[in-house]
Amino acid sequence: NAGVTQTPKFQVLKTGQSMTLQCAQDMNHNSMYWYRQDPGMGLRLIYYSASEGTTDKGEVPNGYNVSRLNKREFSLRLESAAPSQTSVYFCASSEGRSSVFALYGYTFGSGTRLTVV
Amino acid sequence: SNSVKQTGQITVSEGASVTMNCTYTSTGYPTLFWYVEYPSKPLQLLQRETMENSKNFGGGNIKDKNSPIVKYSVQVSDSAVYYCLLGCSGANSKLTFGKGITLSVRP
């Protein structure tokens, strides 16, 4: 099925550990995004990639790095996890190369539930 | 600045109709999206309203800074979190999420 695939679905890390969240889309979309979802905060943009080879910071980039490996894949890395990074992480993609805003909407992955203890 | 306001929680009985409001302020040209989140499922696009396709969804209209979504004859399976997203094109294109409305439908 066409869509956005995120791995893993669940992860528990100890403070200070590192990990990479993977995201892949098979819709030939140009733009990809990483969001985090926290209670009462809605979804907040961490990083985005308007096209292959480019990445930009979003609203809450501190503590994260990203890589746009190719057109399909956009990974999110936590170098030294902190309890404040406990959250649900969503990857999304969209057509076009319009930076943050996708005029025709987004396709989201199922999310990765990350707990840092 | 851009902002989206949604009420937090709505509880209704099965078979009822429910209007979920989304009011906004924007500095650019707006597009309003509604997405629904079911447990362990990807957010799904429900509705997209622009100035061009603007309609009175449940008495509201994007031109009036209000873009509600209406669900008729709701079922227990409609229980979910509904998010309103504001996209603004222009020099400072930006996407703003509302905090979501939790809809609970009683049997």
pLDDT per position as a tens digit, B7-64: 789 999 999 999 999 999 987 778 889 999 998 788 898 888 888 777 766 667 787 8
**Closest-CA residue of chain A to B34:** A105
Average pLDDT, chain A: 90
**Residues of chain B contacting A90 with CB distance shorter than 8 Å:** 43
Task: List phi, psi (to 5°) of B86.
Answer: -110, 120
β-pair type (B80-89, B23-25):
unpaired
Cβ contact B8:B21 at 8 Å: no
Pairing of strands B101-106, B9-13: parallel
Comparing CB atoms, the residue among B42, B87, B98 nearest residue A4 is: B42
Q: Please provide the distance, in angstroms rounded to a whole number, between the alpha carbons at the two ends of chain B.
A: 41
**Each residue's pLDDT tens digit, A41-93:** 778 889 999 888 889 998 899 999 999 989 999 999 999 999 999 999 999 99
CA angle A23, A27, A30 (to 5 degrees): 75
Share of chain A above pLDDT 90, in %: 62
Cα–Cα nearest to A6, from A113, A101, A115, A116: A113
